[in-house]
């Protein structure tokens, strides 16, 4: 039982202009509840309404069903479509015919029908990505999703028209305004009407929870409710002026509600737009001609292209952040440990030298203790800038951790790495690092180097890095602010 605010419920009950379901359709609804009903019985009832029977025949022969031969009789049409599909289509066609007769002043019926048809087509397009295989049931659920808006425009036209206008074509905003002003939303009002018409419970469930699918109490109807709800999100792509935001929100909803991939979501959007000409033709709903349909398709494509580019940019940013140190903007240790083996193997294959430099700032704890960690961070950023400025474009600078950095120098032998090491050491020690535009902090660094070459072979990249670390330790032991290579380790400290 759908519960509505007492005052609104009274206005709805007293409204004499609410639509009613045609007798033929209600008879079909009743018959479809009988497990023993057959195609011929349904066809005979349909034939009582020649216009409806003709419409069903038209749909059965449409591109939607791809029948091999022309369907000429109502019996064959029901057989082709199936009983449930026939019921859903009969309801859809009847509702469009009945409801379009009522044109309330102040309510944009054109926008309403465009959104309703798009919602129905989108729901139908998602049948293959959900366990709900009755495509016409999904279409009907989408088509009737916003029928409560028509009901409210009949029952309280002077209040509801301005409410819709204030939403500025945003469905989310409309729902909030409805709840604030009416104490409910049009989904509940629409479900109330379907309950009054004694239509199937599945249809009422898909409608009443279309805005809050997570509140659905029936686990066995989860797919139906979520598919219909997602169809409403997709319709926003074409009804909300902010197309890109609506597309992003719909794509996010597709992943949450149906675990749909981005590729499948894109397919649904394309299929929805491409199916509109066929559906608008058999429903006799005017979308503004073929040019307008093409515009809708282009609009969807442009939104998807923009969104995909935005996602790619975000992914690139995430990957960049994952490979770079957040403080110094140099590469991080994870990147270093991934790239060094690649450089190592390439140097071996080409017979070229490869050098690494391990750098550690001297007495860095004193800087933090004296000036504070913020100044310490500023020093690290400044030193990282000096290192990058002094290196070749092909070299790699990475923060190893704390105040330690590692540089990779492709095609650099012992003489080259010693020269580069001295250049780096001198760049750091030659003048105080200026912090906060005024504070000069004296900084020095110790450097250890190792080179893979014909004369110096290492089993692994880790072994070469450990050799550079031993040289760094020796530089610290010998007084700091110096460069040490493996060749220097055999010498006495005084000779270094």
Q: In sequence order, what are the beta bridge partners of 435?
A: 439
356, 449: one domain: yes
User: Angle between the 147-155 and 186-196 helix axes, to the nearest 10 degrees?
Assistant: 90
477, 346: one domain: yes
Distance of CA 46 to the CA centre of its chain: 44
How many other C-beta atoms are found inside a 10 Å radius of the C-beta of residue 326?
8
Confidence of residue 495 (pLDDT cuts 50, 70, 90): very low
284, 380: one domain: no
Task: Evaluate if residue 160 carries a pLDDT over 60.
Answer: yes
The answer to whether 45 touches 29, Cβ cutoff 8 Å, is: no
* Integer Cα distance of 243 and 249 in angstroms: 10
- The pLDDT tens digits of the residues spanning 396-405 come to 999 999 999 9
Q: Looking at the domain assignment, is residue 486 inside a domain?
A: yes
Over range 307-311, report the average pLDDT.
68
Q: Looking at the domain assignment, is residue 384 inside a domain?
A: yes
Q: Looking at the domain assignment, is residue 24 inside a domain?
A: no
- The pLDDT tens digits of the residues spanning 58-96 come to 777 776 665 667 778 888 888 877 777 787 777 777 777
337, 289: one domain: no
Task: Evaluate if residue 349 carries a pLDDT over 80.
Answer: yes
Over range 122-136, report the average pLDDT.
78
Helix (H, G, I), strand (E, B) or coil at 430: coil
In which domain, by residue range, is 177 found? 6-19+102-233+280-293
Q: Looking at the domain assignment, is residue 301 inside a domain?
A: no
Q: Looking at the domain assignment, is residue 95 inside a domain?
A: no
pLDDT at 103: 58
CATH number of the domain bearing residue 472:
3.30.70.270
Q: Looking at the domain assignment, is residue 152 inside a domain?
A: yes
355, 482: one domain: yes
How many other C-beta atoms are found inside a 10 Å radius of the C-beta of residue 250?
24
* Integer Cα distance of 405 and 416 in angstroms: 19
pLDDT at 471: 96
388, 288: one domain: no
pLDDT at 496: 42
Single out the residue in 272, 293, 314 at which a domain terminates.
293
* Integer Cα distance of 110 and 296 in angstroms: 15
CATH number of the domain bearing residue 176:
1.10.3210.10
Over range 292-299, report the average pLDDT.
68
The answer to whether 52 touches 90, Cβ cutoff 8 Å, is: yes
Q: Looking at the domain assignment, is residue 286 inside a domain?
A: yes
Share of the chain above pLDDT 90, in %: 41
* Integer Cα distance of 226 and 213 in angstroms: 6
Which residue pairs, CB below 8 angstroms and at least 24 apart, start in 292-301?
A: 296/238, 297/270, 297/273, 299/237, 299/238, 299/243, 300/237, 300/238, 300/247, 300/269, 300/270, 300/272, 300/273, 301/270
pLDDT at 203: 87
pLDDT at 462: 95
- The pLDDT tens digits of the residues spanning 11-69 come to 999 988 887 777 887 887 788 777 788 888 888 888 888 878 887 887 777 766 656 67
* Integer Cα distance of 430 and 382 in angstroms: 13
Over range 280-290, report the average pLDDT.
70
pLDDT at 198: 82
287, 357: one domain: no
- The pLDDT tens digits of the residues spanning 359-384 come to 999 999 999 999 999 999 999 999 99
Single out the residue in 264, 293, 322 at which a domain terminates.
293
Written as one string, the DSSP assignment of 258-289 is H---HHHHHHHHHHHHHHHHHHHHHHT---SH
14, 136: one domain: yes
Contacts of 365 (CB under 8 A, 6+ apart): none
Q: Looking at the domain assignment, is residue 77 inside a domain?
A: no
Cα-Cα-Cα-Cα dihedral of 33, 35, 38, 39, to 10°?
Answer: 50
446, 358: one domain: yes
pLDDT at 367: 92
The answer to whether 421 touches 357, Cβ cutoff 8 Å, is: yes
289, 156: one domain: yes
* Integer Cα distance of 296 and 214 in angstroms: 30
Helix (H, G, I), strand (E, B) or coil at 489: coil
284, 352: one domain: no
Task: Evaluate if residue 1 carries a pLDDT over 70.
Answer: no
Sign of the Cα pseudo-torsion (205, 208, 210, 215, in order): negative
DSSP strand E in 43-184: where?
A: none
477, 384: one domain: yes
Give the mean pLDDT of the chain. Answer: 85
Which residue pairs, CB below 8 angstroms and at least 24 apart, start in 9-13?
A: 9/192, 11/155, 11/156, 12/151, 12/155, 12/189, 12/192
Token pair of 26, please? 């209600």
Single out the residue in 293, 316, 344 at which a domain terminates.
293
- The pLDDT tens digits of the residues spanning 175-192 come to 999 999 999 999 999 999
pLDDT at 65: 63
* Integer Cα distance of 484 and 489 in angstroms: 7
CA atoms within 13 A on the CB side of 278: 16
Over range 238-256, report the average pLDDT.
86
Structural domain count, the chain: 2
User: Angle between the 262-283 and 243-258 helix axes, to the nearest 10 degrees?
Assistant: 110
Over range 435-446, report the average pLDDT.
85
Give the 3-state secondary structure of 146-185: CHHHHHHHHHCHHHHHHHHHHCCCCHHHHHHHHHHHHCCC
Contacts of 375 (CB under 8 A, 6+ apart): 367, 368, 435, 436, 439, 441
pLDDT at 211: 92
Among 185-194, 240-249, 289-298, the range scoring the smallest mean pLDDT is: 289-298
Helix (H, G, I), strand (E, B) or coil at 359: strand
Over range 147-160, report the average pLDDT.
89
Over range 113-134, report the average pLDDT.
82
Q: Looking at per-residue confidence, does 61 or 148 come out higher? A: 148
Selection from 95, 262, 83 nearest residue 194 by Cα: 95
How many other C-beta atoms are found inside a 10 Å radius of the C-beta of residue 322?
10
pLDDT at 269: 86
* Integer Cα distance of 496 and 479 in angstroms: 10
Selection from 345, 272, 299, 294 nearest residue 118 by Cα: 272
């Amino acid at each position: 039982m759908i519960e509505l605010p007492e005052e609104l419920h009274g206005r709805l009950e007293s409204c004499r202009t609410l639509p009613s379901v045609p007798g033929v359709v209600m008879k079909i609804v009743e018959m479809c509840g009988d497990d023993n009903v057959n195609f011929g019985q349904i066809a005979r009832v349909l034939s009582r309404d020649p216009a409806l029977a003709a419409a069903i025949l038209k749909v059965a022969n449409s591109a939607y069903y791809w029948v091999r031969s022309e369907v000429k009789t109502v019996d064959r049409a029901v057989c082709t479509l199936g009983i449930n599909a026939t019921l859903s289509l009969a309801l859809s066609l009847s509702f469009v015919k009945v409801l379009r007769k009522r044109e309330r002043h102040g309510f944009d019926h054109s926008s309403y029908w465009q959104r309703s048809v798009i919602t129905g087509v989108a729901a139908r397009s998602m049948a293959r990505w959900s366990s709900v295989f009755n495509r016409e049931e999904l279409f009907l659920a989408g088509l009737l999703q916003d029928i409560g808006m028509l009901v409210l425009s009949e029952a309280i036209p002077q209040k509801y028209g301005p409410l819709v206008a204030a939403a500025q074509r945003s469905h989310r905003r409309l729902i909030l305004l409805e709840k604030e002003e009416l104490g409910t939303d049009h989904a509940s009002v629409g479900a109330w009407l379907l309950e009054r018409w004694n239509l199937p419970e599945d249809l009422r469930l898909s409608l009443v929870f279309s805005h809050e699918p997570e509140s659905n109490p029936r686990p066995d109807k989860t797919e139906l409710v979520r598919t219909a709800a997602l169809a409403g999100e997709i319709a926003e792509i074409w009804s909300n002026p902010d197309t890109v935001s609506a597309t992003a929100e719909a794509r996010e909803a597709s992943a949450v509600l149906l675990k749909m991939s981005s590729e499948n979501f894109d397919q649904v959007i394309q299929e929805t737009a491409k199916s509109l000409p066929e559906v608008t033709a058999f429903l006799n709903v005017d979308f503004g001609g073929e040019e307008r349909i093409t515009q809708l398709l282009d609009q969807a494509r442009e939104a998807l292209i923009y969104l995909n580019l935005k996602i790619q940019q975000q992914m690139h940013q995430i990957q960049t952040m994952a490979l770079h140190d957040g403080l110094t903007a140099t590469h991080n240790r994870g990147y270093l440990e991934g790239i060094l083996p690649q450089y190592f193997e390439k140097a071996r294959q080409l017979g070229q030298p490869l050098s690494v430099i391990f750098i550690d700032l001297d007495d860095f704890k004193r800087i933090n203790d004296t000036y504070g960690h913020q100044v310490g961070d500023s020093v690290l950023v400044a030193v990282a800038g000096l290192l990058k400025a002094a290196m070749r474009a092909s070299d790699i600078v990475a923060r190893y951790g704390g105040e330690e950095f590692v540089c990779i120098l492709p095609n650099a032998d012992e003489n080259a790495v010693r020269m580069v090491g001295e250049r780096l050491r001198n760049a750091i020690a030659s003048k105080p690092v200026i912090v906060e535009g005024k504070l000069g902090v004296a900084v020095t660094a110790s450097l250890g180097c190792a080179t893979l070459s014909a004369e110096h072979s290492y089993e692994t990249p880790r072994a070469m890095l450990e050799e550079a670390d031993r040289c760094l330790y020796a530089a610290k032991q010998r007084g700091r602010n110096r460069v040490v290579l493996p060749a220097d380790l055999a010498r006495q400290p005084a000779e270094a």
